[in-house]
Amino acid sequence: MQQHTSRRNVIAAVAGAAAAIGVPASPATAASSSPSSSSASSAFSSSYASGRAARARATALARRMTVEQKVGQLFVVEVYGQTADAEHAKNRELYGVATPAEVVAKYRPGGVIYFDARRGPDNVREPHQIATLSNGLQRAALRAGARIPLLVSIDQEGGSVVYRMLEPATQLPGNMALAATRSTRDARDSADVIGTELKAVGINQNYAPCADVNINPANPVIGVRSFGSDTALCAELVSAAVRGYHEGGVASAAKHFPGHGDTDTDSHTGLPVITHTREELDRIDLPPFRAAIRRGVDTIMTAHIVVPALDPSKAPATMSRPIVTGMLREELGFDGVIATDALDMGGATGDFPPDVAPVRAFQAGCDQLVLAPKLDTAFAAVLGAVRSGKISEKRLNESVIRILEHKLHRDLFPFPYVDEDRAVRVVGSRRHLAKARSITERTVTLIRNESGALPLSAAPRKVLVTGWGTAPLGNLARAVDARRDQSATTLETGTAPDAAKIAAARAAARDHDVTVVLTNAAAAGADKGVAQGKLVEALRATGKPVVAVAVRNPYDIQRFPHVPAYLATYSYGAPSMTALARALYGDVNPSGRLPVAVPSLSDPDRPLYPFGHGLSY
């Protein structure tokens, strides 16, 4: 694939997309366009992509589409590879074609979603590559069928749990960390930075922010992805994040409707049941979604959860017409795009095979069908349902027009391309890194500090950095080592340290002046949590100073309530570890406050530390 969009492709793409929606585009006008110019996009947006004009244009475009083309617009698919023309065996396995461009040409989907190598698609290596992939896929979309540009999506929430783009992309600390600052400005700025960098590489839809209220400390799937356990704080920060994403230039998506915060089941592997009453839903779960709607959120993503108070049939929310259409559309008045959570998750696949799940979700009222397994089967099932009358063409048109209108609002017509060289300059810029550094330093929360254990003085000392995570331990140790007269040693013990690892850490601690131990979800998972708790207690028994740091959920001190000093970073990314080192030595005076209550392990109704708790030096 060529490195840049060629003049001929620009002319063809602009003319084709413009003609499809009834806008003249002369060769001279098209030829003056380039991936680095946003003037055509801006002019088009001001003329055609606002309010009624966008709806009228979307309706006109839908009239010219075949039923097959309309069905394609409903699907959001993953593609394997780093360029549009790269062959990959997984594309052949899933779709029967070799390259990402061929996947787009075959199904003419409404959107694609990028993943990193951890899942397999390996789409997001570095800015120039991502921008080139985005341009290549848009080129494929504008050559096929009705010539409709793609929504290019990603899950880039910030923090250390749900993210796809690594460095050089700017790493932000995540929602619960932001909630520790209590700053709407920080939440907005964080989303702005993420959105700006996504837009630069051709990603125009971010499946964020998470609007779930995490009132269950045992929640295995939300946790630090949430802004916390306080509904009002969550609503305020969700609204700020939506604004920030829009200012950054990408669509936002509040998830997971109607609220995934009170469960101890992971919907990736099972089907959670939310037992809240209707009054509890109104008081706890729904306000952040209402706030997002008021702020103009583009998309709301459904959850694979059962909510009997809203649908006695116990259908998952994604498949529930009373929840998706009755509540979200009609009661809450949301008129944007409704996306399913991934249809390949256990919460969707358990009772709904590939030919049933997409049809049921669409009948419930969803517009975007995300990651439907066995795409040939799923596509044929929806198309068959339309042709048989099981799904009316009127209902199909409603979703398609909504999706097309969304694309108009995102300025994707007539020119969806980005400047690949500019992407390199924007992503990880010094301004973004400086902003992320200052935000992250405000998130560090000091929860326990007995007898003035912190801050550490400037006296020469040997520091043992142990516990969970090779990369976080290394980043923290390097930050400590860089300080004058400080020498750091790392010893990784893992998520569930056995007796031998605990003994080795205890022996090493006796040889050092102070130990900093990182814990990850020690309060959750009986065996793993107990093991991490034993590690901290063994270190404390040496009589040497011990500082424990929760690098994910802040509840870990339940396992070791008597540790002398305890901090929460809510993230184990490199910026959070750098901020932690500065806080340990007093360069940063911790100012974060708990966005959740930390309950006692023996009595969950009694808080060890209440919501809002936080110490300073």
- The greatest distance separating any two alpha carbons of the chain, rounded to the nearest whole angstrom, comes to 79
For this structure, is 186 an active site residue? no
Q: What is the rounded distance in angstroms from the CA atom of residue 455 to the CA atom of residue 464?
A: 16
Best CA proximity match to 348, nearest among 378, 305, 388: 305
H or E segment and range at residue 133: helix 127-143
Best CA proximity match to 261, nearest among 251, 279, 275: 275
Give the phi and the psi of residue 425 in degrees, each rounded to 5. Answer: -75, -30
Burial grade of 34 (CB within 10 A; 0-12, 13-18, 19 or more): middle
Contacts with 387 (C-beta within 8 Å, 6 or more apart), sequence order: 67
Edge-to-edge strands, sheet with 253-257 = 253-257, 299-302, 337-339
550 - beta bridge partners? 519, 568
Catalytic residue among 341, 367, 411, 419: 341
Q: Which two tokens stand for residue 410?
A: 């995102």
For β-strands 565-568 and 546-550, DSSP reports them as parallel
Q: Say if residues 239 and 291 touch (Cβ distance below 8 Å).
A: yes
Q: Which two tokens stand for residue 53?
A: 């004009």
Q: Which two tokens stand for residue 39?
A: 């003037």
Q: What is the rounded distance in angstroms from the CA atom of residue 377 to the CA atom of residue 383?
A: 10
Best CA proximity match to 145, nearest among 65, 57, 25: 65
For this structure, is 311 an active site residue? no
Cis bond before residue 220 (omega within 30° of 0):
no
Q: What is the rounded distance in angstroms from the CA atom of residue 150 to the CA atom of residue 202?
A: 10
Catalytic residue among 85, 268, 344, 355: 268
Best CA proximity match to 544, nearest among 464, 467, 457: 464
Q: Which two tokens stand for residue 592?
A: 């974060």
Catalytically active residues, by annotation: 268, 341
